[in-house]
């Protein structure tokens, strides 16, 4: 097969790397605008190269649209790993999302971080993150994906702990990295088992081999389970989602880019990319489905009571990621990917809007201290509203289409998952409108809120672009009854190297689909209106907190449970064990040996001078004498 | 040329001893010596480029020095020892730079180092079992003094423990070599004839193969160190002066792995493979218990030392898996760990020179005023944690993938080390580099001299290169390890 070679691909990764090096090694400027523009230029450069590449490739029906066989990374025995990049219809979408939204967020950050003490460091990390994320997307084999996977984890660690003078920020960064490493064990397991049985890491070959079905089924089961486990770490699902809310310790543009729009969706992306491995694993998909549902609910319930605007958005992200996993669990990677894209737009918008609010409020993040901001921050208010409408699925916004698609798939799967998912969507409506109303409506509840100021144009421009995207990007994939385009489904279907895995393709009747759409929209708007009226006039601590309220406020005590059940016992037990083994058993034995030798060594006390040097000289001289003796006098 | 390369450190050591207390002269001379040695290394490399990497351990020099003992001083170069030679030369140049301007590190200190270097490359180059043994033992003496004289508070205990345990292991190897020399079918103790022996193996451990394995393995196991023979390492690392810790982590431990691949596996292949299940257990024990111990440490050097126990556990797995991928992983990890742990000890040594504290809890917020030092330290830390893009990953990945093929559950347990590594290393970073600035850090600003920067940067540059340029090393040792793998099958 003739593969379309495209050496330009490597520059999509190299440009951000160069940007990071320039900012981090050479420039190191305290001038935030300069560092920011340099970082932005690198991101925009990657975006432009992406556009050029996409423009150049023919829109054929093949999977590999462009290929860059860059260099050999490891080659030994049967193992061969090349650092090889490829573009498929699926990765094309992700490339656009990451470089496009990435560029906007870089631009926004130029304004946001302009008063920071070391903006150069921030933009170096941010560029490095882009490079890692783009490697994850572009790599043609799983080892390259793992490189990106770990790379984004590293950058996330560095950026969460960006203001490392505060201990809790450093702790949050470490928590993120270590929790992700727990997930990565699954990835490593998948890599090991895949290589042992297929002798390759190239995804194009893997999906073929998976389809051919000559490898024992448990291999694919293990691989799928491992990749899913890794995804629960990166994409913040139960039980490993706990790092994401803490990750809000990082600067807000980081939360928007890494912890909402791009990195956290890489689990969904990876599963979609190797979907043929998952398609034949109903057991794994069941776990994906129910885990996704549980995550969507728990996170949404937690978001209900959070006072920190970023925490609300963080739990909302966890919950929306749950929606994506539900889509995967129902056997529809297209719906999952579609929601990845729309979510990237509106959640980035919401986070950046929150950043603008925080900026205008002099770093206050407490919703209870806001209020009435719509008077002071017109643009922020309107764009934030667009984001809220999109996330609650206001008819014809992007979130409406993608969420409707997932709900429809869940309904096909069964009434119970469908109803549960609709429930989670309604809770979303409630807490998002609550946050919006608390921030922008009612009376100003603090000095900062009364004197809030609108952000600079450099920050507002990305908001406007994202707002437009959030409203309109949904038209790429429309429900069947609309007879509109269904681009995502086509792209995703083309991305499995000619393999078309069997799925249970159920259909809703047209009437059912209309009813579903109408009922869900109506309910959602009703809940939104109820929430709006409830929080429009703020009453502090009016009604008594219920037990559920307290549980939600305390995030279901998950951190405490983990610390109590896992971390503390583990540290205690391993401390005891290692001390016992090393100090008492091994060293005890050695010391007994030494003391025994000391007693019997009294005879030699003649030479026992106590000086270490003398011992050494004995040895040196003795060695030489023995050698000389052997050389000239022995037989 | 190779002989000159081997002799130069010994000759240089004599001059350094003579210079003695004239520390500044000795340091300058030492730098010249190291540079000359580096130049020679280039020549050696150039000369051996044709022959190294084609397998068969080609000889570059041979002299029948002890015909009575069937021994000759023969030196060989191939893809297994060439990278380690480079590592030794580079690390000792870095240490020469580091020592410059430090009054305590006088002629006798540098002379001992030079002897150590000579003995190290001697045992790397040796293609004769007795010659190997002599150089091997000779490494002990200078190290013993370096710890015993220039170490910190508990140095005498650490030095003695190091000496006694290593010596104990080595004696068993000496017995093995002597026994081999007495066999009538052994014409000489050269590597080529010993590896052609094809000793019979019937599964009995009191057979020739079995006993020889025990002898060789004992020496290498202590040096690596294989769990549970590791307890000398934390003490030696902690008490040793910076240079000692660097060379210990960077080179000496590596010789254990090298020795297994060079001598133990090819001479007694069947016994080695029969021992593999036990080795897997010990390797996993080293990874897990070493990591757990590292997690508990409050002494920074001790923490890094225990991390070595864990990493060397990976190498034990790689070696005894017996397939090319895993052995390549061990060989690569050898270099990667030498660079990353060497760099960590070196950088921390420079900090310690100013603060005189190894207590982790006394540190905090170091990164605030020392952005560069912190960045370089982080590169080393993440190389050690196995971040892809840095060399530690390549080694661990190859070991895990290769081990899984022969012992899946071993590999699964070992992969826990990937997680635990992040736990203890990031705890170190968090407490030392991040958080509010502690009074210790605030009152002892660390301003590095040009020579100290020059000592760190080559190590960092190599790490950044090898992360992606792994093929440079993998290509070198491929043929040698393929030959070995055939033998082990």
What ipTM was reported for this prediction?
A: 0.94
The answer, yes or no, to whether residue B353 has pLDDT greater than 70, is: yes
Chain A contact set for B437 (CB, 8 A): 165
Q: Residue B252 gets which letter from DSSP?
A: I
Per the CB < 8 A criterion, the answer to whether A82 and A141 are in contact is: yes
Distance of CA A258 to the CA centre of its chain: 6
Q: Mean pLDDT, to the nearest integer, of B355-370? A: 91
User: Burial of A606 by CB count in 10 Å (0-12 exposed, 13-18 middle, 19+ buried)?
Assistant: exposed
Distances (CA, A) of A350 to A237, A309, B394: 21, 10, 40
Q: Residue A482: name the closest of A519, A506, A524, A517 by CA.
A: A517
Chain B contact set for A73 (CB, 8 A): 468, 470-471
Cα A635 to Cα A628: distance, rounded to the nearest angstrom = 13
CA distance A99 to chain B (A): 22
Q: Do B66 and A571 touch (CB under 8 A)?
A: no
Three-class secondary structure of residue A83 per DSSP: strand
Q: Residue A290: name the closest of A185, A410, A179, A182 by CA.
A: A410
Cα A321 to Cα B308: distance, rounded to the nearest angstrom = 39
Q: Mean pLDDT, to the nearest integer, of B383-397? A: 94
How many interface pairs between A and B have CB atoms less than 8 angstroms apart? 179
Q: Residue B27 gets which letter from DSSP?
A: H
User: Burial of B47 by CB count in 10 Å (0-12 exposed, 13-18 middle, 19+ buried)?
Assistant: middle
DSSP state string for A151-193: HHHHHHHHHHTSSTTSHHHHHHHHHHHHHHHHHHHHHHHHHHH
Q: Residue A473 gets which letter from DSSP?
A: G
Q: Strand locations in B70-222, DSSP E?
A: 71-76
Name every residue whose Cβ is closer than 8 Å to that of residue B468 and which is 6 or more positions away in sequence.
Answer: A71, A73, A83, B389
Per the CB < 8 A criterion, the answer to whether B414 and B395 are in contact is: no
Chain A contact set for B427 (CB, 8 A): 174
CA distance B211 to chain A (A): 23
Residue B165's pLDDT is: 86
CA distance B437 to chain A (A): 7
A140 phi/psi in degrees, rounded to 5 = -95, -5
Cα A526 to Cα A429: distance, rounded to the nearest angstrom = 9
Does the CA dihedral A47-A52-A53-A57 come out positive or negative? positive
Overall residue count recorded for chain A in this entry = 635
Lowest mean pLDDT: which of A372-381, A498-507, B134-143, B198-207?
A: A498-507
Chain B contact set for A82 (CB, 8 A): none
Quote the mean pLDDT of chain B. 91
Question: From the first residue on, what is the mean pLDDT of each consecutive set of 10 residues in chain A (635 residues)?
Answer: 77 95 91 93 96 82 84 92 92 93 95 91 95 96 96 95 92 94 95 94 90 88 95 93 92 92 94 91 93 95 92 95 95 93 95 94 90 91 95 92 93 92 95 94 89 91 95 85 81 82 73 89 93 84 72 85 85 84 82 74 54 60 67 55
Q: What count of other Cβ atoms lies within 10 Å of the Cβ of residue B46?
A: 10
Chain A contact set for B228 (CB, 8 A): 581, 585-586
Residue A280's pLDDT is: 84
Distances (CA, A) of B429 to A164, A175, A179, B4, B382: 11, 13, 17, 43, 10
Q: At what angle do helices B82-99 and B324-355 cross, to 10 degrees?
A: 0
Distances (CA, A) of A491 to A87, A89, A175, A350: 12, 5, 36, 27
Q: Write the secondary structure of A234-303 as one string of H (helix), E (strand) and C (coil).
A: HCCCCCCCCHHHHHHHCCHHHHHHHHHHCHHHHHHHHHHHCHHHHHCCHHHHHHHHHHHHHHHHHHHHHH
Residue A635's pLDDT is: 42
Q: Indicate the residue of B165, B398, B400 with minimum beta-carbon distance to A76.
A: B398
| A 132-171 residues inside an 8 A Cβ radius of B | 143, 146-147, 150-151, 154, 157, 161, 164-167, 169-171
Residue B151's pLDDT is: 85
Q: Do B419 and A181 touch (CB under 8 A)?
A: yes
Per the CB < 8 A criterion, the answer to whether A350 and A303 are in contact is: no
Overall residue count recorded for chain B in this entry = 489
Q: Write the secondary structure of A395-451 as one string of H (helix), E (strand) and C (coil).
A: CCCHHHHHHHHHHHHHHHHCHHHHHHHHHHHHHHHHHHHHHHHHHHCCCCCCHHHHC
Cα A347 to Cα A383: distance, rounded to the nearest angstrom = 12
Q: Do B295 and A571 touch (CB under 8 A)?
A: yes
Question: Quick one: which H or E segment has residue B453?
Answer: helix B450-468
Per the CB < 8 A criterion, the answer to whether B448 and B377 are in contact is: no
CA dihedral A509, A512, A514, A517 (to 10 degrees): -120
* A14 near B CB under 8 A: no
Chain A contact set for B161 (CB, 8 A): 590
B118 phi/psi in degrees, rounded to 5 = -60, -45
Q: Do B436 and A150 touch (CB under 8 A)?
A: no
Q: Residue B261 gets which letter from DSSP?
A: I
Q: How far from each other are the two terminal CA atoms of chain A, in whole angstroms?
A: 73
The answer, yes or no, to whether residue B148 has pLDDT greater than 90, is: no
Q: Mean pLDDT, to the nearest integer, of B63-71? A: 85
């Amino acid at each position: 097969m003739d593969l379309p070679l495209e050496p330009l691909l490597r520059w999509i990764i190299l440009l951000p790397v160069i940007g990071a090096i320039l900012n981090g090694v050479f420039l190191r400027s305290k001038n935030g605008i300069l560092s920011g523009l340099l970082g932005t230029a690198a991101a925009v450069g990657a975006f432009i190269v992406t556009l050029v590449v996409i423009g150049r490739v023919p829109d054929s029906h093949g999977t590999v649209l462009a290929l860059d066989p860059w260099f050999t990374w490891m080659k030994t025995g049967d193992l061969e790993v090349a650092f090889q990049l490829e573009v498929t219809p699926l990765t094309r979408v992700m490339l656009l999302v990451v470089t496009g939204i990435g560029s906007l967020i870089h631009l926004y950050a130029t304004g946001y971080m302009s008063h920071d003490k070391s903006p150069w460091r921030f933009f170096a990390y941010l560029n490095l993150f882009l490079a890692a994320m783009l490697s994850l997307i572009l790599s043609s084999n799983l080892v390259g994906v793992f490189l990106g996977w770990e790379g984004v984890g590293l950058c996330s660690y560095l950026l969460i702990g960006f203001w490392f003078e505060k201990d809790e920020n450093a702790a949050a960064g470490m928590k993120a990295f270590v929790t992700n490493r727990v997930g990565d064990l699954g990835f490593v397991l998948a890599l090991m088992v895949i290589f042992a049985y297929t002798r390759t890491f190239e995804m194009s070959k893997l999906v073929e081999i998976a389809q051919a079905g000559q490898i024992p089924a448990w291999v694919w089961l293990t691989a799928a389970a491992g990749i899913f486990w890794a995804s629960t770490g990166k994409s913040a699902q139960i039980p490993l989602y706990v790092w994401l809310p803490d990750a809000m310790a990082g600067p807000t543009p980081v939360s928007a880019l890494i912890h909402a729009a791009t990195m956290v969706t890489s689990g969904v992306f990876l599963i979609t990319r190797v979907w043929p491995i998952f398609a034949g694993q109903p057991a794994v998909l069941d776990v994906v489905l129910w885990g996704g549902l549980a995550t969507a609910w728990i996170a949404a319930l937690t978001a209900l009571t959070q006072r920190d605007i970023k925490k609300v958005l963080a739990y909302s992200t966890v919950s929306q990621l749950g929606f994506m996993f539900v889509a995967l669990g129902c056997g529809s990677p297209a719906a999952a990917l579609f929601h990845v894209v729309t979510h990237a737009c509106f959640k980035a918008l919401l986070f950046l809007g929150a950043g603008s609010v925080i900026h205008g409020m002099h770093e206050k993040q407490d919703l209870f201290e806001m209020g009435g901001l719509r008077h002071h921050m017109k643009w922020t208010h309107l764009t934030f509203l667009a984001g809220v409408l999109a996330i609650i699925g206001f008819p014809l916004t992007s979130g409406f289409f993608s969420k409707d698609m997932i709900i429809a798939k869940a309904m096909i799967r069964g009434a119970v998952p469908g109803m549960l998912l609709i429930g989670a969507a309604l809770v979303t409506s409630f807490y998002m409108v609550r946050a919006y109303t608390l921030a922008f409506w009612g009376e100003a509840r603090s000095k900062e809120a009364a004197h809030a100021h609108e952000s600079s144009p450099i920050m507002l421009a990305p908001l406007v672009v994202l707002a437009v995207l959030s409203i309109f990007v949904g038209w790429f994939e429309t429900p069947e009854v609309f007879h509109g385009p269904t681009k995502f489904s086509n792209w995703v279907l083309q991305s499995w190297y000619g393999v078309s895995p069997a799925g249970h393709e159920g259909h809703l009747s047209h009437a059912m689909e209309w009813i579903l759409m109408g009922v869900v929209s109506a309910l959602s708007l009703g809940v939104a209106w109820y929430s709006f009226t409830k929080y429009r006039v703020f009453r502090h601590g009016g009604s008594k907190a219920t037990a559920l309220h307290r549980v939600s406020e305390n995030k279901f005590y998950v951190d405490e449970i983990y610390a109590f059940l896992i971390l503390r016992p583990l540290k205690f037990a391993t401390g005891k064990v290692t001390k016992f083994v090393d100090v008492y058993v091994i060293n005890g034995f050695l010391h007994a040996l030494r003391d025994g030798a000391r007693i019997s060594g009294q005879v030699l006390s003649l030479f026992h001078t106590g000086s270490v040097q003398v011992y050494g000289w004995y040895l040196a001289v003795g060695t030489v004498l023995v050698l000389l003796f052997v050389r000239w006098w022995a037989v | 040329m190779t002989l000159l390369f081997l002799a130069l450190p010994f000759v240089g050591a004599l001059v350094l001893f003579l210079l003695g207390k004239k520390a500044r002269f000795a340091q300058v001379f030492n730098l010249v010596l190291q540079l000359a040695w580096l130049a020679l290394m280039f020549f050696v490399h150039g000369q051996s480029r044709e022959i190294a990497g084609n397998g068969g351990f080609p000889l570059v020099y041979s002299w029948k020095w002890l015909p009575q003992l069937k021994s000759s001083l023969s030196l060989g170069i191939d893809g297994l020892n060439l990278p380690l030679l480079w590592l030794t030369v580079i690390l000792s140049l870095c240490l020469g730079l580091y020592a410059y301007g430090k009054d305590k590190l006088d002629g006798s200190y540098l002379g001992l180092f030079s002897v150590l270097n000579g003995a190290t490359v001697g045992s790397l180059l040796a293609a004769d079992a007795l010659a190997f043994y002599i150089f091997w033992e000779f490494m002990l003496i200078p190290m013993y003094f370096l710890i015993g004289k220039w170490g910190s508070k508990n140095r005498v205990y650490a030095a003695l423990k190091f000496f006694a345990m290593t010596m104990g292991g080595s004696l068993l190897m000496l017995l093995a070599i002597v026994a081999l020399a007495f066999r009538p079918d052994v014409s000489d103790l050269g590597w080529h004839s010993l590896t052609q022996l094809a000793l019979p193996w019937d599964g009995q451990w009191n057979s020739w193969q079995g006993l020889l394995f025990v002898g060789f393995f004992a020496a290498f196991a202590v040096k690596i160190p294989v769990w549970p023979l590791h307890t000398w390492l934390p003490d030696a690392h902690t008490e040793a002066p910076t240079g000692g810790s660097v060379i210990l982590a960077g080179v000496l431990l590596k010789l254990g792995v090298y020795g297994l691949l060079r001598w133990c596996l090819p001479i007694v292949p069947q016994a080695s493979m029969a021992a593999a299940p036990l080795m897997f257990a010990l390797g996993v024990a080293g990874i897990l218990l070493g990591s757990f111990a590292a997690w508990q440490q409050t002494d920074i050097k001790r923490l890094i030392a225990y991390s070595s126990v864990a990493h060397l556990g990976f190498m034990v797995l790689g070696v005894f898996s017996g397939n090319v991928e895993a052995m390549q992983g061990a060989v690569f990890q050898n270099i990667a760990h030498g660079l990353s742990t060497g760099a960590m000890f070196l950088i921390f040594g420079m900090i310690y020179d100013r603060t005189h504290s190894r207590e982790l809890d006394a540190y905090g917020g170091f990164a605030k005023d020392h952005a560069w030092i912190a960045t370089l330290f982080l590169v080393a830390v993440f190389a050690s944690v196995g971040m892809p893009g840095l060399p530690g990953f390549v080694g661990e990945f190859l070991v895990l993938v290769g081990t899984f093929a022969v012992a899946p559950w071993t590999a699964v347990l070992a992969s826990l080390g990937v997680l635990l590594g992040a736990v203890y290393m990031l705890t170190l970073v968090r407490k030392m580099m991040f958080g509010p600035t502690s009074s210790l850090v605030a009152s002892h600003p660390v301003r590095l001299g040009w020579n100290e920067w020059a000592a760190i940067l080559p190590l960092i540059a190599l790490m950044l290169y090898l992360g992606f340029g792994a093929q440079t090393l993998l290509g070198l040792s491929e043929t040698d390890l393929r030959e070995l793998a055939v033998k082990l099958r």
